[in-house]
């Protein structure tokens, strides 16, 4: 065991993803690695946040603690390595540039399964709601012009950016202005870290094609949602043995409405949910809803749905509720893999405002996944899905998408990568 502790810094836009770092703490402690999470919440997500705080076992410091200077973060913390949950935003790319300039190794730990999206195809970007998009952009303008753009431009200058880097910056600014997400197409050069960790084997190809990693730079560490929702290996593909007419359907959404995508804001999303519930009710089903956590409009959605008969499902109830459903309707969310791991029929939302949604290979390759072009055809497609024996095909799919065993060792696998980076 080493005598001196090493230092790892996490960098994120807000504190909503702190749980992703929290699960690493026991393994980091075992490896004698200190951890501090640096975030930029005061730049827009939470302007009243504390400069320094503690969330569980994680020490968190807002960028204001460092005088709003990304370079000062490195001067003060002197990290041996830095870990990101995403690297596509300008602030993250700026911090990554400073890490590269200072020869500090970095790790991009995917915080979900990106293979549920077809991010390599720009044509598959979700449809933009003009009104919701304008509202979303306007809410971010103060942050962009006061902090994000100046910080990134400064990083480009300080790190001797190439003409290609500047061109990419201008192109990305244009894409933001027209509502085109930066994570569809190819990543910028400064979004690439030293190493990459993905949850499942299917995302290895995404890391290669999107970020330009070599296969040897990518490690499959496992899906922490499996542990979070208390799904053990004996439950994989177990729904088949418990199937019956339960007359319940789970709808799993991905947060489009909070981003100004697909739906006409929160009101448009609520309208879609209510019409879906009513259509399912006409077919004899009641609808349950699993909302994406930590959305700014969650409380508004919950209030609007309080008298609709739609049952909102918490994380604690999620797995048991799934096992008591006949099937699921899903959007492009990592959580959509959970019913698939159980062997359930899943309907890929492609009706109404979702008709232009393009799903990635993780979900389209699932043997019991069906495109749902019309909500009125749900019961018919569900019945057809139960007539087909795809048990062997599901087992093969699980080999690529369940992740390595034991599931509980995911944090240790991540920390092992960090140790490799530091040594």
DSSP string, 318-384: HHHHHHT-SEEEE-S-GGGHHHHHHT--EEEE-SGGGTT--B-HHHHTSTTEEEES-GGGHHHHHHH
Q: What is the mean pLDDT of residues 46-51?
A: 92
Give the lowest-confidence range in 129-133, 191-195, 304-308, 312-316: 129-133
What confidence tens digit (pLDDT) does each residue in 310-369 have?
A: 999 999 999 999 999 999 999 999 999 999 999 999 999 999 999 988 898 899 999 999
256 band by pLDDT with thresholds 50, 70 and 90: confident
Structure tokens at 211: 């970020």
Residue 420 has pLDDT above 80, yes or no: yes
Beta strand segments in 253-325, E: 286-290, 311-312
What confidence tens digit (pLDDT) does each residue in 155-176 have?
A: 999 999 999 999 999 998 887 7
Among residues of the chain, what percentage have pLDDT more than 90?
71
What one-character DSSP code corresponds to residue 208? I
Q: What is the mean pLDDT of residues 49-63?
A: 96
Identify the domain containing residue 273 by its residue range.
227-401
115 band by pLDDT with thresholds 50, 70 and 90: confident
Structural domain total, the chain: 2
Q: What is the mean pLDDT of the chain?
A: 90
Residues 67 and 187 in one domain: yes
Q: Which residue has the higher pLDDT, 297 or 85?
A: 85
What confidence tens digit (pLDDT) does each residue in 137-156 have?
A: 677 777 888 999 999 999 99
CA distance 266 to 274: 12
Residues 165 and 237 in one domain: no
Q: Look-up: residue for tokens 């300080």?
A: 158
Residue 123 has pLDDT above 80, yes or no: no
Alpha-carbon distances, residue 382 vs 156, 325, 351, 376 (angstroms)? 53, 12, 15, 11
Q: What is the mean pLDDT of residues 244-266?
A: 84
Residues 111 and 171 in one domain: yes
74 assigned to some structural domain: yes
242 band by pLDDT with thresholds 50, 70 and 90: low
Residues 337 and 215 in one domain: no
Residues 344 and 359 in one domain: yes
**Helices 90-101 and 70-77 sit at what angle, rounded to 10 degrees?**
50
109 band by pLDDT with thresholds 50, 70 and 90: very high
131 assigned to some structural domain: yes
Residues 44 and 189 in one domain: yes
Residue 231 has pLDDT above 60, yes or no: yes
Residue 293 has pLDDT above 90, yes or no: no
User: Domain containing 372 — which CATH number?
Assistant: 3.40.50.2000
* pLDDT given for residue 5 in this prediction: 87
Which residues lie below 8 Å from residue 84, measured CB to CB, with a gap of 6+?
A: 10, 11, 12, 92, 96, 106, 107, 108, 109, 193
- Through-space distance between the first and last CA atoms of the chain, rounded to whole angstroms: 13
**Helices 130-143 and 265-282 sit at what angle, rounded to 10 degrees?**
140
Q: Which candidate, 319, 276, 265, 329, places its Cα nearest to that of 129?
A: 265
Residues 385 and 260 in one domain: yes
1 assigned to some structural domain: no
What one-character DSSP code corresponds to residue 423? -
Q: Which candidate, 315, 299, 306, 225, places its Cα nearest to that of 258?
A: 299
263 assigned to some structural domain: yes
93 assigned to some structural domain: yes
Residues 148 and 214 in one domain: yes
* pLDDT given for residue 184 in this prediction: 61
Among residues of the chain, what percentage have pLDDT more than 70?
91
Residues 29 and 135 in one domain: yes
- DSSP for 122-191, written as a single string: GGGSPPB-HHHHHHHHHHHHHHIIIIIHHHHHHHHHHTT--HHHHHHHHHHHHHHHTT--TTSS---GGG
CA distance 148 to 145: 6
CA distance 296 to 32: 36
Dihedral over alpha carbons 185, 111, 177, 149 (to 10 degrees): -110
Residues 397 and 413 in one domain: no
What confidence tens digit (pLDDT) does each residue in 366-392 have?
A: 999 999 999 999 999 999 888 888 989
What confidence tens digit (pLDDT) does each residue in 13-30 have?
A: 999 899 999 999 999 999
Cα angle, residue 272 at apex, residues 271 and 276 outer, rounded to 5° = 115
Chain mean position to CA 294? 12
120 band by pLDDT with thresholds 50, 70 and 90: low
Residues 40 and 95 in one domain: yes
Neighbours of 315 (CB within 10 A): 12
CA distance 15 to 36: 12
142 assigned to some structural domain: yes
74 forms beta bridges with none
Residues 183 and 272 in one domain: no
* pLDDT given for residue 104 in this prediction: 98
17 assigned to some structural domain: yes
397 assigned to some structural domain: yes
């Amino acid at each position: 065991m080493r005598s001196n502790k090493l230092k790892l810094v996490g960098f994120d836009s807000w504190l909503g993803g702190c749980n992703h770092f929290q699960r690493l703490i026991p393994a980091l402690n075992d490896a004698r690695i200190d951890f501090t999470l640096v975030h930029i919440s005061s730049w827009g997500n939470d302007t009243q946040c504390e400069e320094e705080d503690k969330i569980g076992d994680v020490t968190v410091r807002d960028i204001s603690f460092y005088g709003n200077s990304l370079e000062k973060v490195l001067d003060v913390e002197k990290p041996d390595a830095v870990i990101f949950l995403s690297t596509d935003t300008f602030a993250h790319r700026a911090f990554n540039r400073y890490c590269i300039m200072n020869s500090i190794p970095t790790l991009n730990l995917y915080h979900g399964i990106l293979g549920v999206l077809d991010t390599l195809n720009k044509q598959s970007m979700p449809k933009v709601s003009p009104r919701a998009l304008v509202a979303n952009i306007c809410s971010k303008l103060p942050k962009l012009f006061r902090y994000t753009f100046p910080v990134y431009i400064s990083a480009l200058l300080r790190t001797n950016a190439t003409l290609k880097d500047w061109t990419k910056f201008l192109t990305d600014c244009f894409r933001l202005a027209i509502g085109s997400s930066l994570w569809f197409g190819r990543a910028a050069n400064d979004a690439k870290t030293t190493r990459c960790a993905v949850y499942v084997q299917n995302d290895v190809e995404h890391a290669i094609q999107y970020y330009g990693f070599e296969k040897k730079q990518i490690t499959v560490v496992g899906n922490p949602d499996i542990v979070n929702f208390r799904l053990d290996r004996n439950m994989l593909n177990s729904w088949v043995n418990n199937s019956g007419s339960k007359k319940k359907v789970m709808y799993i959404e991905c947060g489009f409405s909070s981003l100004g995508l697909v739906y006409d804001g929160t009101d448009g999303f609520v309208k879609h949910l209510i019409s879906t519930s009513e259509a399912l009710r006409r077919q004899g089903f009641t609808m349950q809803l699993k909302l994406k956590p930590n959305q700014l409009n969650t409380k508004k959605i919950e209030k609007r749905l309080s008298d609709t008969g739609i049952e909102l499902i918490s994380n604690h109830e999620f797995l048991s509720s799934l096992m008591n459903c006949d099937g699921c309707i899903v959007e492009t969310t990592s959580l959509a893999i959970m019913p698939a791991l159980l062997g359930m029929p899943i309907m890929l939302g492609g009706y109404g405002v979702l008709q232009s949604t393009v799903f990635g290979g993780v979900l389209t390759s699932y043997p019991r996944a069906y495109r749902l072009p019309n909500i009125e055809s749900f019961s018919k497609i569900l019945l057809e899905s139960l007539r087909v024996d795809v048990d062997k095909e599901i087992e093969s799919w699980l080999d690529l998408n369940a992740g390595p065993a034991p599931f509980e060792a995911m944090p240790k696998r991540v920390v092992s990568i960090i140790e490799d980076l530091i040594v």
